[in-house]
Amino acid sequence: MAETLIRRAGTVLTMDDTRQELSRADILIRDGVIAEIGEGLTTTGETVDARGCVVTPGLVNTHHHLYQTLTRAVPGGQDALLFGWLRTLYPIWARFGPEEMRVSALTGLAELALSGCTMSSDHLYLYPNGARLDDTIDAAREIGLRFHPTRGAMSIGESDGGLPPDVLVEAEAAILEDCVRVIDAHHDASEGAMVRVGIAPCSPFSVSRDLMREAALLARDKGVMLHTHLAENDEDIAYSQARFGCRPGQYAEDLGWTGEDVWHAHCVKLDGAEIDLFARSRTGIAHCPCSNCRLGSGIAPVRAMRDAGVKVALGVDGSASNDSGNLVAEARQAMLLQRVARGADAMSAREALEIATRGGADVLGRPDTGRLAPGKRADIAIWDVSGVESAGSWDPAALLLAGPTQVRHLFVEGRQVVRDFHVTTIDLPRVLEDQRRLARRLMT
Ligand SMILES: [Zn+2]
């Protein structure tokens, strides 16, 4: 029986059903699960001193393309709009293979872990030169983060009027076959699962209507979730209306792409009727504020979505469109962006943190995570608020107003992945050396 005791936390933001905030509380972890929260707890196992720290549930990232960690700040894409940005990067990505996928995933997951993230989704939609979803799953197992990889896909290449070059698209039958393979090999439906696989055609403009429909049928047959990009910017809406004769919400609904087993990235341009549809159908959203700013896509109507009852989560999006992958900084950006649109009372620091923790867990169908309560998985972030970023703060628990952007300690399923600001589970300097070597190769 493995036990760890987190002792005398300054404040615990539980994000439980009553949003309790506890002072000087202890958290006892036993076999990967939170056994008890209270004062004066004891253990014969390891003890972690959390005095002067704020403790939160681990943050949850619901949209990423980890492979892009190798193509940050590419000059030709730095100032381009979405479609132009994609056209710049596709030929570079076409040179990736299994090693690029594994090393970029390790780097991106390490960056997330250091920013307080315990569970991440990933959307891998291109498989050049023998790359497989398994390459990223190996990386997640190595570093020890809870992982929801999605088997993405593109099937309409340039010669069929699509955006990606033909070399990056796959035949639809092969895509569905590989979805079945990775689900059967890696998906774990049980409580506390470390890996759950989803199905995720890249976007309505890179696969056919048939593949969208078949993907939804397969996901329901296998009991896995569905994910894609939707309504990201004005070009996206114009494309939907020109090609499908309807708005993205209608397209999604017609093809079976609404429901509590579906979450869509971005949704910057959803209108009122689409927001109502997503609320009614319990469809989730991965809000990616930095990417939306970076690509000039607009401000997602998160306040209106939350008020309508839509499930909203947070995503850093790919490192090539952010270009950072710091999840707690992303939560701050979400808070700030709603204030740009709606005023200073549009979103509090605590609400944005709730979206980043509990909100993410709910969108990914993981009520066993995202909150600190007995019986929940021990995914825990410990923030040191004694540093210069928090100095003078009257409310250190308002982390997103004046708080650290790196976590001090991080536990996933009770295992310590970050200790004193360092990743413990992998040799990060070695990974970064590999990353530099691979990036140099891609630049030539
Ligand atoms: Zn994306």
Q: What is the pLDDT of residues 243-256, one digit of tens each?
A: 999 999 999 999 99
* Token pair belonging to 305: 């979505």
Query: Ligand 1 centre and the CA of 317: distance in Å?
Result: 5
pLDDT in tens, 82-93: 778 888 999 999
What are the pLDDT digits (tens) for 340-375?
999 999 999 999 999 999 999 999 999 999 999 999
CA of 118 to the centre of ligand 1 (A): 20
Secondary structure (DSSP) of 190-226: STT-SB--EEEES-TTTS-HHHHHHHHHHHHHHT-EE
- Distance (angstroms) between ligand 1 centre and the Cα of 243 equals 21
- How far away, in angstroms, is 154 Cα from ligand 1 center? 13
Tell how far CA 84 is from the center of its chain.
24
The Å distance, Cα 328 to ligand 1 centre, comes to: 18
From the CA of 265, how far away is ligand 1's center (Å)?
Answer: 7
d(CA 353, CA 60): 10
- Centre of ligand 1 from the C-alpha of residue 35, in Å: 37
pLDDT level of residue 320 (50, 70, 90 thresholds): confident
Residue type, position 372, single letter: L
Q: Distance from the CA of 318 to the center of ligand 1, in angstroms? A: 6
Does the N-terminal peptide bond of residue 323 adopt cis geometry, omega within 30 degrees of 0? Answer: yes
For 255-310, how does the pLDDT look when each residue is reduced to its tens digit (9 = 90+)? 999 999 999 999 999 999 999 999 999 999 999 999 999 999 999 999 999 999 99
At 1 the pLDDT is 73
Q: Among candidates 355, 378, 331, 380, which has minimal Cα distance to 9?
A: 380
- How far, in Å, from the CA of 286 to the mean position of ligand 1? 9
Lowest pLDDT segment from 34-38, 203-207, 323-327, 375-379: 203-207
Distance of CA 288 from the midpoint of ligand 1 (Å): 8
Give the closest residue to 361 by CA, choosing from 122, 146, 176, 127.
Answer: 146
Handedness of CA 343, 349, 355, 356 (dihedral sign): positive
Ligand 1 center–CA 392 separation, angstroms: 37
> What angle (nearest 5°) sits at the alpha carbon of residue 191, between those of residues 48 and 111?
50
Q: What is the pLDDT of residue 321?
A: 84
pLDDT of 161: 84
- Measured in angstroms, how far is the CA atom of residue 169 from the centroid of ligand 1? 17
Cα of 229 from ligand 1 centre, angstroms: 6
